[in-house]
Amino acid sequence: MSGHSYQGKKNIPKITSDRLLVKGGRIVNDDQSFYADIYMEDGVIKQIGDNLIVPGGIKTVEANGKMVIPGGIDIHTHFQMPYRGTTTVDDFSQGSKAALAGGTTMIVDHVIPEPGSSLIEAFEQWRNWADEKTCCDYSLHVDITHWNDRVKQEVDILLKEKGVNSFQVYMAYKDFYQMSNSELYEIFTFLGEMGGIVQVHAENGEIIAEEQARMLEMGITGPEGHVLSRPEELEAEAVFRAITIASQTNCPLYVTRVMSKSAADIISQARKKGNVVFGEPITASLGTDGTHYWSKNWAKAASFVTSPPLSPDPTTPDYLNTLLASGDLNITGSAHCTFSVAQKAIGKDDFTQIPEGVNGVEERMSLIWEKAVTTGKMDENMFVAVTSTNAAKILNLYPRKGRLAVGSDADLVIWDPDTVRTVTAKTHNSAAEYNVFEGMELRGGPSVVICQGKLVLEDGGLHVTPGVGRFIPCTPFPDYAYKRVKARKQLAVLRAVPRGMYDGPVSDFSPLSRGGTPSASARTSPTKQPVRNLHHSAFSLAGNPAQRGELQKHLHLPISLPVSDCHRKYQGTHKYTHTHTRAFRSRLSVR
Amino acid sequence: MQNVELPGYRHSYLHGNVSASRSRAIAPLERDESVPMETCFVFFPGRSNGLLIRGGRVVNDDRSEFADVYVEHGLIKDVGVNLTVPDDVRVLEANGAMVIPGGIDVNTCLLKPHLGCPPVDDFFLGTKAALAGGTTMIIDHVVPQPGDSLLEAFERWQASADRKCCCDYSLHVDLPNWNAGVQDELEVLVQEKGINSFQVYMAYKDMFQMTDSQLYEAFSFLKDLGAVVMVHAENGDLIAQEQSKILSMGITGPEGHPLSRPEELEAEAVFRAITLGNRVNCPVYITKVMSKTAADTITQARRKGSVVFGEPITASLATDGSHYWSKNWAKAAAYVTSPPLSPDPTTPDHLHSLLACGDLQVVGSAHCAYSTSQKAIGKDNFTLIPEGTNGVEERMGFVWDKAVAMGKMDENQFVAVTSTNSAKIFNLYPRKGRIAVGSDADIVIWDPDRTKTITSKIQQSAVEYNIFEGMECRGGPVAVVSQGRVVYEEGEGLQVQQGSGRFIPRQAFPDHVYQRIRTRNKVKGRQGVTRGMYDGPVYDVPAMPKYITPSPSAKTSPTSHQPPPIRNLHQSNFSLSGAQLDDNVPRRSGHRIVAPPGGRSNITSLG
C-alpha cells in the first residue's frame, strides 16, 4: 500500500477533502463478509469497523444491511475505438458512465495501434482521449499488432515507464493483426522475461480466412456467415496452441474472450496440469448465445457480431458460469465495443465487413449476479473475486483496487441483490441502438456507487464528471501470475550432458540440409527454429512432457491440415506435421 | 498505510465465535494445570507480554507484504511498518523470512483406539510434533465406538485434550451409526458444544459403515444443522469381499491391504458420496484423498458445480504404496492406512498439481501413530493391522518441498492449503488462518531454504517407523508462535506447555461452505404441475400399490424413498434439495396416497 502515486494527474484537487461514511453495510470481500462501517476521505478508505470516530457533519450513506462490495473492474473495453475513419459510439465518457451505472468503477481499455505505427504514440493518443473524458479510473492494455525490434523496444518502455503490464496479441485477422507462431514465441519469451502479461485473442485466423471465402462463395453474406465461418473448434485450437507456446516459453497467459465451452474446457484442463493460464469470459458469452445470428432482423443479428463469435449452443452461458464459479475461469470483462446500426451496415452485403463488437459494460455485474449467484452456482465472495479482485491482482493493483480495506481506493458499491431490472436499449446508458441482452430480466444491481470517494449513483440518479478518471499505472511481474513462473525459471536451468569428444568419422553433408526450413512468412524471425530447439524440449511446466506431446499431436493435426496454406507455417513448430501431411492430404482429396 | 485489512476483522470474528472462547483467549499464555484459569492473568506483573516479529515478509493467502507484526495477549494487535510498541517487548527477528499464519491440521487421530489400545502419540506428543512442524492448531477426530454416546465420547476427548494439548485444538465427531438417538446428540453438539463437522464412513463393514439410505438421511439431517459432512470414502462391501478373497489366497501380509482396497473402490465411493451430496444439496468434504482417480472425481464434480472439498494427506502427498511390498514387515505395516497409499508412484505429483490449481483445498495429515508392537496385532492377518500413518510434523514441509519449491504453487497458495482454506471451511476464519489485526497470534516464521532429512531419530512423534524416513525436505519453520507465545525457535528447541491448548468452538453454517447451499435451497424448490382433477375410471389395484418399492433393508427410512416421477402428485411438492421444516420427521409416503382420510375424492386439493 505504500505510496499511492497519483502520478501525472492534473485533477487531484477535484477529489480531495471528500469525506463520506457508509453505515450499516455488510462488507463483502473475496475472502469473507462481515458487518462494518466504512469511512473514506480524499478518495481513500481510512477506517473500517464499528463505532468509528469520524468528523462531525460528514455525509452519511445508510446501507441498511445491504452488501457493500469493491467496485467492479471491467478488464476489457473498447471505448472510442477508431474503426475505418469512425469511432465506436460509446466514447470514454459515455462508456465509463455506463460502467458506473452498472457498478463498475474501473475500466481497462485496449490501445490498438495500426499495424506499422508506433505503440507509444498510440498509447499517448489513448491516454489523451481517456484523460479528457473518463468518469472513473482506468488503465490500458496495449495490443501488439506487428512485431519487430522497434516494437520490442517500445514494449520495454511501456512496461518500465508507462504503467502498462499487459499486451494483447492476435492469432486471428489474417494479413492484418495476426502473428505467426514464431512471432508469438518471441513475444511470449520477451514478455515472460520482462514480467508482462500476454493476452491473446485466440482464433485460428488462417482457417477463418478459408472458411469466410467458402461461405461467401456459397452465397451466405448475412451475419450467420460470421458464426459459420468461425466454428467453436477454431477457438479451442488456438487456445490450445497459445497455451502450448506459453508453456514452452514459461510465460503467463491470459485468454481474452472465452466464448465457447470447448475453449473453456481447454483452459480448465491446462490449469489442472499446472499451466499458468487465465480465462476471461465476457458479458455476452455469459449472458446470451449465438442463435440470434439467424435472426430475420439484419440489424439485430449484426449487433451480436463479435469475435470469437457467440456460440450457437444455448447451454454455453450456463457452462461458462459454472466454470467461473469453480475457479477454472477467473476474470470477467465485457469487451464492450459498440457500433451504431449504420456502422454495422458497412457489412450489409458481406458479413466479413461488419464491425465487430457487442455491448456489456453496464450489464456485466448484474448479469453474473443473475446467472451465477441467484442460481446458487457461486457465493457472494466469489462474485467479488470474479468481478473485481482477480482483475486487480492480475493488473498488480491489489489491494489498492479490488478490496475494501484501510488504505484501498474508495471505489465501492452498495449492492442490492433483490432489485430487478429489465435490460433494454431504451434505458441503457450506452449510445448503441441495440442491446444484445434486450428484454432480459436481471436481479441484483447497484443501489449506490461510490467512485474515488464520491457518490456517483444514488437514488437512481447518476452524477458523473467526465475527466475525473485517473490513469492507474500497472507494474510488471504481478505476483498473482508471476510467482510460480519465477520459481519455475529457477528450476528450469537446462544443462548439456558432458561427453567425451566424438572423434570418429563424419560423413559429408551439404550445409543447407537441416535446420534450414525456409520461414513461412517474411515476418518470421530467423532466430527461432523451434523444431530443433533441444534446449527447450526437456522443460515442462506440468511435469509430464511426454503426455503433453501426445495431446498436442492429437489436437493440432486434424485441425491444421485441411488448409493447405497454413500447414507450411506450422511446420516450424510442429515436427509431426510434415510427415503426416501427405497421408492426410490424400485422404482429403478423397473426401 | 500498511495495516490494510485490519479493523474490520476484529469484530467480525467476535460475532463469528462463541464468546466464551474469547474470555479464554485473553487468558494465560503460561498456564499451569494446578492454577485455575482466571488467576493466570497475572503472570508477568509489570511487564507487558508483547511480542514483536520484526523484518519479515507477511504472507497471507491473497498477497505478501513486508511488515512487522505486534502481538499481545495472544492476539495480533498490529501489522505494519514502523509500529509503535512498548519498550520492553520481546523481539523476534525474521530477517526477511516469510511470516505465515500457523498451519491448521484438520485431520489427526490422537486418541482413536484400535481394539482398545490408544495410539502412541497422544494429545501431548501429537501437538508437540505439530508445533515442531509449524502447525499451530489441530482438529482431531472423536471416534466413538458403535453404540457409544457421541456426547460422552466428545467429553472424553475434550477432557484428554484439555489436559494434554500444547496448541489450540478443535474436534470433529465421527458417526459410528445412525439412529434417532444420534440425531438428538448431534443437535446438542452443534448448538451447544461448538462442533460443526461430522465424519461418516462408507467403509468398515459391520462396524462404522452406513448404507446409502442412512447416508442420505445423515446428509439431510447434518445439512439442516449447518454442519460440514466429512466422508471416509471407500466401498466397504467390496473391500470385505476382496479381503476374504485375498486371505483365502494365503496373502496375510501388509501387501494384502492395498490389494484388497484398490484405487477404484475409493473413486467409486467418492463419486457416490458426491452424488448423495448433490441430491441432498449438502456440502461434502472428502477426507484422505489418496489416489489420482479419487482426486479426478472430485475435480470433475467441482467443475459441474458440486460443493465438494478434497483433503489429501501428508502421506498421499509425499510417498506411495510401493512400500507395502517391503520385505521388512514392520516397515510395510507402518504404511497401512485407509484408503491405502496408491502403488502408483506418480500419485503425489498429481495430487500436488491439483492442490496447486485449487481443485483440492486442504492438506491434513491423518496422523494416527501406532507402535510396531501395536501394528503387530495384525502380523498374521493384514485386516487386523491398526490403520494410521504419521505426518503431522512433516505436513507443511512436504507441501513446500514438493509443490512450492517445484514451482507448482506459490507461497500464497501454500498458506491457503495449509491454513486459510481449513479455517474457512470449518468456520475459524479470520480468527485463524490469517495474519491480521484481531486474529489469534498463531504465527510461523518460515524458512524456504532450510533442508532437513526426515528420520525417526529426531522426530517428536513416538512412532518407531517414520514412513518418510530418509526423505529430504526443503522448507521448515525457524520459529513458531502459538497463542502469542514463542514455542519453538531454531537453536532453542521446543518449549511447549502441556495443557495450554484451548478448545476452539466452531459455529454452524460456515459461509465458505453454506452460502451457495442456501441459495440453491431457495431456487431449487420443485413444484408439481397443477392439474385439473382426474375423474375418469380407476382400475382396481391390489392392496400393495406398485410404487411402494419394498425397502432394501430394514434400516431404510421412508424419507429417502424417491418417488417415481410420473403419478405421485402428493409427493411432488417435496423437494429433495430444499430444506423443509419437517425434513427430519419421517414421512410415511405410501400411506397418504392409498387411503387418505375421507376417501380419495379430490386429489388436487393437496397441491
Torsion on CA atoms B561, B563, B564, B567, rounded to nearest 10: 150
Chain B, 400 to 419: residues with Cβ < 8 Å from chain A are: 404-412
Residue-level pLDDT at A504 = 81
Residue-level pLDDT at B311 = 96
For residue A380, list chain B residues with Cβ-Cβ distance below 8 A: 515
What does the alpha-carbon distance between residue B157 and residue B436 come to, in Å, rounded to a whole number? 31
- The one-letter code for the residue type at B160 is S
Kindly state whether A51 is in contact with chain B, defined as any CB-CB distance less than 8 angstroms. no
If one counts every other C-beta atom within 10 angstroms of the C-beta of residue B566, the result is 7
Contacts of A264 (CB under 8 A, 6+ apart): A258, A279, A281, A319, A320, A323, A328, A329
Query: What is the CA A50 to chain-centroid distance, rounded?
Result: 38
Contacts of A374 (CB under 8 A, 6+ apart): A417, A443, A444, B519, B523
* Shortest alpha-carbon distance between residue A52 and chain B (Å): 10
In three-state secondary structure terms, B247 is helix
For residue A326, list chain B residues with Cβ-Cβ distance below 8 A: 302-303, 305
Residue-level pLDDT at B579 = 53
* Least confidently predicted of A310-324, B456-470, B545-559: B545-559
Q: Are A246 and A482 in contact (CB under 8 A)?
A: no
What does the alpha-carbon distance between residue A315 and residue A293 come to, in Å, rounded to a whole number? 16
* Least confidently predicted of A169-178, A316-325, B27-36, B213-222: B27-36
Beta-carbon separation of A31 and B412 below 8 A: no
What does the alpha-carbon distance between residue B91 and residue B481 come to, in Å, rounded to a whole number? 12
Residue to test with chain B: of A41, A50, A272, most B Cβ within 10 A: A272
Residue-level pLDDT at B181 = 85
Q: Which chain B residue has the Cα nearest residue A406?
A: B4
The residues with which A457 forms a beta bridge, in sequence order, are A449, A462
For residue B305, list chain A residues with Cβ-Cβ distance below 8 A: 322, 325-326, 377
What does the alpha-carbon distance between residue B185 and residue B225 come to, in Å, rounded to a whole number? 12
For residue A378, list chain B residues with Cβ-Cβ distance below 8 A: 516
Q: Which chain B residue has the Cα nearest residue A485?
A: B407
Torsion on CA atoms A232, A237, A240, A241, rounded to nearest 10: -140
More confident residue, B460 or B587: B460
* Shortest alpha-carbon distance between residue B422 and chain A (Å): 13
Widest Cα–Cα separation across chain B: 93
- Check whether A416 has a pLDDT greater than 70: yes
Residue-level pLDDT at B531 = 81
What does the alpha-carbon distance between residue B439 and residue B6 come to, in Å, rounded to a whole number? 9
- Check whether A13 has a pLDDT greater than 60: no
Kindly state whether B304 is in contact with chain A, defined as any CB-CB distance less than 8 angstroms. yes
Residue-level pLDDT at B93 = 93
Q: Indicate the residue of B4, B11, B512 with minimum beta-carbon distance to A405.
A: B4
Alpha carbon separation from B570 to A576, B279, B539, B588, B596 (Å, rounded): 63, 20, 19, 12, 11
pLDDT in tens, A334-392: 999 999 999 999 999 999 999 999 999 999 999 999 999 999 999 999 999 999 999 99
More confident residue, B569 or B356: B356
What does the alpha-carbon distance between residue A107 and residue A140 come to, in Å, rounded to a whole number? 8
- Tell me whether residue A350 is exposed, middle or buried, using C-beta atoms within 10 angstroms of its C-beta: 0 to 12, 13 to 18, 19 or more: middle
Q: What is the mean pLDDT of chain A?
A: 85
Residue-level pLDDT at B537 = 82
Kindly state whether B359 is in contact with chain A, defined as any CB-CB distance less than 8 angstroms. yes
What does the alpha-carbon distance between residue A356 and residue A335 come to, in Å, rounded to a whole number? 10
Kindly state whether B11 is in contact with chain A, defined as any CB-CB distance less than 8 angstroms. yes
E-state strands within A363-499: 412-422, 441-451, 454-458, 461-462
The backbone torsions φ and ψ at residue B37, rounded to the nearest 5 degrees and listed phi first, read -60, -40
Residue-level pLDDT at A498 = 78
Alpha carbon separation from A8 to A110, A136, A163 (Å, rounded): 20, 16, 12
Kindly state whether B305 is in contact with chain A, defined as any CB-CB distance less than 8 angstroms. yes
Beta-carbon separation of B15 and A35 below 8 A: yes
Alpha carbon separation from B262 to B107, B321, B331, B388 (Å, rounded): 23, 11, 20, 17
Please report, rounded to a whole number, the percentage of residues in chain A having pLDDT higher than 70: 83
If one counts every other C-beta atom within 10 angstroms of the C-beta of residue A312, the result is 18
What does the alpha-carbon distance between residue A311 and residue A260 come to, in Å, rounded to a whole number? 6
- Check whether A555 has a pLDDT greater than 70: no
Q: DSSP of A133-184, one letter per residue?
A: H-SSEEEEEEE--S-SHHHHHHHHHIIIII---EEEEES-STTTT---HHHH
For residue B353, list chain A residues with Cβ-Cβ distance below 8 A: 272-274, 542-543
* Shortest alpha-carbon distance between residue A62 and chain B (Å): 18
Taking residues B95-108, what's their average pLDDT? 95
Beta-carbon separation of B524 and A2 below 8 A: no
- Check whether B270 has a pLDDT greater than 80: yes
Q: Are B460 and B494 in contact (CB under 8 A)?
A: yes
pLDDT in tens, A378-395: 999 999 999 999 999 999
How many degrees, rounded to 5, is the angle at CA A490 between CA A488 and CA A496? 105
- Check whether A565 has a pLDDT greater than 90: no
Alpha carbon separation from B102 to A108, A184, A459, B405, B430 (Å, rounded): 37, 43, 46, 19, 12
Residue-level pLDDT at A84 = 87
pLDDT band per the 50, 70, 90 thresholds, residue A585? very low
Query: What is the CA B450 to chain-centroid distance, rounded?
Result: 29
- Tell me whether residue A38 is exposed, middle or buried, using C-beta atoms within 10 angstroms of its C-beta: 0 to 12, 13 to 18, 19 or more: buried
Q: What is the DSSP letter of A412?
A: E
pLDDT band per the 50, 70, 90 thresholds, residue A572? very low
What does the alpha-carbon distance between residue B420 and residue B512 come to, in Å, rounded to a whole number? 11
Q: DSSP of B55-105, one letter per residue?
A: EEEEE-SS-EEEEEEEEETTEEEEEESS----TT-EEEE-TT-EEEEPEEE
Taking residues A217-245, what's their average pLDDT? 93
Beta-carbon separation of A399 and B404 below 8 A: no
pLDDT band per the 50, 70, 90 thresholds, residue B48? low
Kindly state whether B512 is in contact with chain A, defined as any CB-CB distance less than 8 angstroms. yes
All structural domains of chain B, each given as residue ranges with its CATH number in brackets, are 102-474+496-521 (3.20.20.140)
Kindly state whether B115 is in contact with chain A, defined as any CB-CB distance less than 8 angstroms. no
Beta-carbon separation of A328 and B303 below 8 A: yes
* Least confidently predicted of A38-47, A256-265, A560-569: A560-569
- Check whether B312 has a pLDDT greater than 90: yes
Residue to test with chain A: of B293, B411, B519, B577, most A Cβ within 10 A: B519
pLDDT in tens, A522-554: 343 333 333 344 444 444 444 444 444 444 444
Beta-carbon separation of B8 and A27 below 8 A: yes
Beta-carbon separation of B407 and A273 below 8 A: no
Q: Are A287 and A257 in contact (CB under 8 A)?
A: no
pLDDT band per the 50, 70, 90 thresholds, residue B41? very low
Contacts of B197 (CB under 8 A, 6+ apart): B139, B172, B173, B227, B228, B229, B230, B285, B426, B506
Shortest CA distance to A311 belongs to which of A203, A190, A424? A203
pLDDT in tens, B383-417: 999 999 999 999 999 999 999 999 999 999 999 99
What does the alpha-carbon distance between residue B593 and residue B23 come to, in Å, rounded to a whole number? 56
pLDDT in tens, B179-235: 888 999 999 999 999 999 999 999 998 889 999 999 999 999 999 999 999 999 999
For residue A328, list chain B residues with Cβ-Cβ distance below 8 A: 303
pLDDT in tens, B4-15: 443 334 344 334
Q: What is the mean pLDDT of chain B?
A: 83
- Check whether B569 has a pLDDT greater than 50: no
- Check whether B158 has a pLDDT greater than 70: yes
For residue A1, list chain B residues with Cβ-Cβ distance below 8 A: 1-2, 4, 65
Residue to test with chain B: of A34, A401, A477, most B Cβ within 10 A: A34
Alpha carbon separation from A164 to A493, B68, B527 (Å, rounded): 29, 31, 53
Residue-level pLDDT at B524 = 72
Taking residues B16-39, what's their average pLDDT? 38
Residue-level pLDDT at A15 = 40
Q: Are A539 and A250 in contact (CB under 8 A)?
A: yes
Q: Are B214 and B227 in contact (CB under 8 A)?
A: no
